[in-house]
Structure 1
Amino acid sequence: MARNTQDAKKASEDETPIGPTGRPYHGFATPPKLDRHGPARIIALCNQKGGVGKTTTTINLAASLASYGRKVLAVDFDPQGALSAGLGIPTHDITTVYDLLLDTKRDPHDAIVHTRVENLDVVPANIDLSAAEVHLVNEVARETILARVLRKVSDEYDVILIDCQPSLGLLTVNALTASHGVIIPLECEFFALRGVALLIETIDKVRDRLNPTITLDGVLATMYDPRTLHSREVLERVVDAFGDDVLETVIGRTVKFPDASVSGMPITEFAPEHAAAQAYLRLARELVARGAVA
């Protein structure tokens, strides 16, 4: 009897724990250092619904990849400039992504800002970017302008992350046209789930007409609260709808994110031992393991 109990205990210890997505929860190994950098894989973080964690994810995923020795460029492509502010970058009276869109002959290095995080650079944005769609509407090949800008610096980075604005307008189409992959941050809340079908349809149209190589790198569940039945049910529905496209890493809800943003730091620097910081480090490892990032 005692032997059976010990065998059962050993079997349970050997089992891989089940994560919140209902699949085995892997640790993902620390990625090896790179012996060279570039060309970059460009990833758009996109969702037409606001407040789902796009900017938070861009900042903290970028910092996490940088901590693993990847050279990262984060492009603030939202007129609110939240990514720039979240990394402590002043956005007044400086060259921004808006200037690069209006003058594609301009050197993108004019707009690149080095952050306090090693290996992480940013192309900032401010409210001027809200006028871009009006200015670009009569441009030839207007959907490919951002792609032409990023092409000039892509060989210097391992990954370029584009923080998109919460809309499916011309700026977002530009980001999707420039990208190799898309990550969809999705809040574990019913109304956030409703709009994803429209976003997937937009990605399919871009793939059909402008960028045939773009792929869905993953759906990232954010603001997950395991204490609520609603969060658990929404995550279950997301997994039912997208299957293996749902990333195993799930980002929980915590007040540490706004605290880190006020400090102008990624959470991996602000509170490196916090569960949220560890979750983003794990997300970086998962994307490397999936081949989405070198």
Structure 2
Amino acid sequence: MQRRLGGLEETTQVSETNVSLQLTIKGVSKVSSMSSPATSSDREKVVSKLPGWLRQDLKIRAAQHGIEIQTAVEQGIDAWNSLASTPASIDTSGAGPFSTFLPQGQWDTFRAVAADRGVSLTQGLAQSVQLWLDANPAPHIERPTITRRIIVCNQKGGVGKTAITAGAGEAMAEDPNALYPVRVAKQLAAALRDQATTREDSPLEVEDLPGLGLRVLLVDFDPQCHLTNQLGGTPLPMNGDSLTNHMAGDPKGDLQDLIVSVDDEAFGGRLHLLPACNDAFLLDVRLSAVRAREAALERALLPLEDDYDVILVDCPPSLGLSMDAAAYYGRRRDGEQPGQSGALIVVQAEDSSADAYELLTSQIDDLRNDLALDIDYLGIVVNLYDGRRGYIATSSLQGWVDIKDPRVVGLIGDLKEQKEAVRLKRPLLSYAPTSQQAVGMRALAREIS
């Protein structure tokens, strides 16, 4: 923690508790020198060489634009063939095997043009790929016009609100110029169905996707300081400034000065933390003397919002005034689209979570009605799930799935990597980036984005 101042054939496998996650992108496994040996539908398989750095850039950029690698190469070769002159030479030393599928006849045309220009096929292909990269720069991150505010909540303690807050925030802040394994969205419904009716984990497909690259602030709103400690931060001293003081109208400085950066290469300075202080145990008492106390959290955090795309609040297990303030902060503002901000409810697949869920939703619904607010439910996350626990777990999961509104947007297993990351005070997504839990956190971040 540092204080903050002012296609190809590739296989990715993730194995966690007998769950195998595998992705295969089109291509071949054995590569010789230049050839055009086979056909696939209306395309032919071509085999060449390409520098590793250029191959990686191509893979990332194609994913960023949501197209197949073979389509990007096809477009690059077409552009290269039509050039009036040969582009600058590219260093192809150490080029490794590369294969793709191209439209019938394109490779033969490319070979003829390369021969006319006196350029090797490896060099011509490298220039073609670079030409496509230059014409298709990395897309800009889409910033919300209104900072999104996500309150992660449940009246029951021990359900893993902190882990979900941290994991979703980490997933939102990952490097947009790198690829990470993400569970295929359409697999969630199947996984929920299968795991609610059996005790076996279902194989899940993953795909490599760029990080979301958002600027994220994690707010530890819990006096137990779990989020602060989990990410290696230091709780704020009782005799200093804190979020509680700002909410109670008694600030001792600038709240921005309390923010720390979660320093990790994967997050590139985009992930920050507002640490907790134990004085939050007194928050409800102090808020009772504050005018318009429901808006206290918003008044405190509003000056920070211009610096962030998303603010996630790790709420305490409470139904008091502090929870009212959190729910109010997550309300839908004027001009904001439904589902951009709101409450993300974390539960477990057991009976006591259902009781706590009813209490929480009753409180939010009362606040909605009393103050005429629009407070959206972003969904339910079933955390710490283990189908091997038998009927209680599977039937409870089915009960959450049956609710429909809000729907289940995440299913996170009870696996060792999260516990290890907490023990080591490291972000889960950098400690175990390919673990099943990390893959699920990225899927969750995309479900609610």
Normalising to structure 2: TM-score of the pair?
0.55
Contact kept? 1:38, 1:155, Cα under 8 Å: no
When residues 35 and 282 of structure 1 are mapped into structure 2, their CA distance, relative to the original with a 3 A threshold, is: closer
More helix by share: 1
Pairwise CA distance, 1:172: 1.0
Which residue number corresponds to residue 221 of structure 1? Answer: 382
When residues 33 and 188 of structure 1 are mapped into structure 2, their CA distance, relative to the original with a 3 A threshold, is: farther
Which residue number corresponds to residue 243 of structure 2? Answer: 97
Q: Mark the runs of 5 or more structure 2 residues left unpaired by the alignment.
A: 1-62, 67-138, 175-211, 332-341
Pairwise CA distance, 1:122: 1.1
Q: Tell me how far apart the structure 2 counterparts of residues 209 and 88 of structure 1 sit (CA, whole Å).
A: 40
Pairwise CA distance, 1:96: 2.7
Q: Does 1:135 align with 2:286?
A: yes
Which residue number corresponds to residue 343 of structure 2? Answer: 182
Q: Tell me how far apart the structure 2 counterparts of residues 199 and 129 of structure 1 sit (CA, whole Å).
A: 20
Q: Aligned match of 1:262 in 406, 420, 423?
A: 423
Which residue number corresponds to residue 148 of structure 2? Answer: 41
Please state whether the residue corresponding to 1:213 is helix, strand or coil: coil
Which residue number corresponds to residue 233 of structure 1? Answer: 395
Q: Tell me how far apart the structure 1 counterparts of residues 376 and 236 of structure 2 sit (CA, whole Å).
A: 35
Q: Tell me how far apart the structure 2 counterparts of residues 213 and 111 of structure 1 sit (CA, whole Å).
A: 31
Q: Aligned match of 2:170 in 60, 63, 80?
A: 63
Q: Which amino acid aligns with 1:74?
A: L
Q: Does 1:150 align with 2:290?
A: no
Which residue number corresponds to residue 12 of structure 1? Answer: none
Which residue number corresponds to residue 3 of structure 1? Answer: none
Q: Tell me how far apart the structure 2 counterparts of residues 126 and 39 of structure 1 sit (CA, whole Å).
A: 28
Contact kept? 1:37, 1:157, Cα under 8 Å: no
- Say which is worse superposed, 246-255 or 271-280, in terms of deviation: 246-255
Q: Tell me how far apart the structure 1 counterparts of residues 329 and 143 of structure 2 sit (CA, whole Å).
A: 23
Contact kept? 1:84, 1:90, Cα under 8 Å: yes
Q: Tell me how far apart the structure 1 counterparts of residues 250 and 299 of structure 2 sit (CA, whole Å).
A: 7
Which residue number corresponds to residue 111 of structure 1? Answer: 258
Q: Which amino acid aligns with 1:179?
A: G
When residues 50 and 246 of structure 1 are mapped into structure 2, their CA distance, relative to the original with a 3 A threshold, is: same
Q: Mark the runs of 5 or more structure 1 residues left unpaired by the alignment.
A: 1-28, 289-294
Query: Share of identical aligned residues, percent?
Result: 34
Pairwise CA distance, 1:245: 2.1
Q: Tell me how far apart the structure 2 counterparts of residues 210 and 239 of structure 1 sit (CA, whole Å).
A: 30
Contact kept? 2:236, 2:242, Cα under 8 Å: no
Q: Tell me how far apart the structure 2 counterparts of residues 89 and 107 of structure 1 sit (CA, whole Å).
A: 19
Contact kept? 1:252, 1:276, Cα under 8 Å: yes
Pairwise CA distance, 1:205: 1.2
When residues 248 and 137 of structure 1 are mapped into structure 2, their CA distance, relative to the original with a 3 A threshold, is: closer
Which residue number corresponds to residue 194 of structure 1? Answer: 355
Normalising to structure 1: TM-score of the pair?
0.82
When residues 75 and 243 of structure 1 are mapped into structure 2, their CA distance, relative to the original with a 3 A threshold, is: same
Pairwise CA distance, 1:217: 0.6
Q: Tell me how far apart the structure 2 counterparts of residues 287 and 33 of structure 1 sit (CA, whole Å).
A: 20
Pairwise CA distance, 1:145: 0.7
When residues 225 and 212 of structure 1 are mapped into structure 2, their CA distance, relative to the original with a 3 A threshold, is: same
Pairwise CA distance, 1:36: 4.3
Contact kept? 1:183, 1:220, Cα under 8 Å: yes
- 4+ residue runs over 4 A deviation: 29-33, 35-38
Which residue number corresponds to residue 21 of structure 1? Answer: none
When Rg is computed on C-alpha atoms for both structures, the one with the higher figure is: 2
Greater RCO structure (CA 8 Å; 6+ sep): 1
Contact kept? 2:248, 2:290, Cα under 8 Å: no
Residue by residue, what CA displacement relative to the aligned partner does 1:202-221 show, whole Å, maximum 9, x if unpaired?
11111122361210010111
How many residue pairs get matched? 259
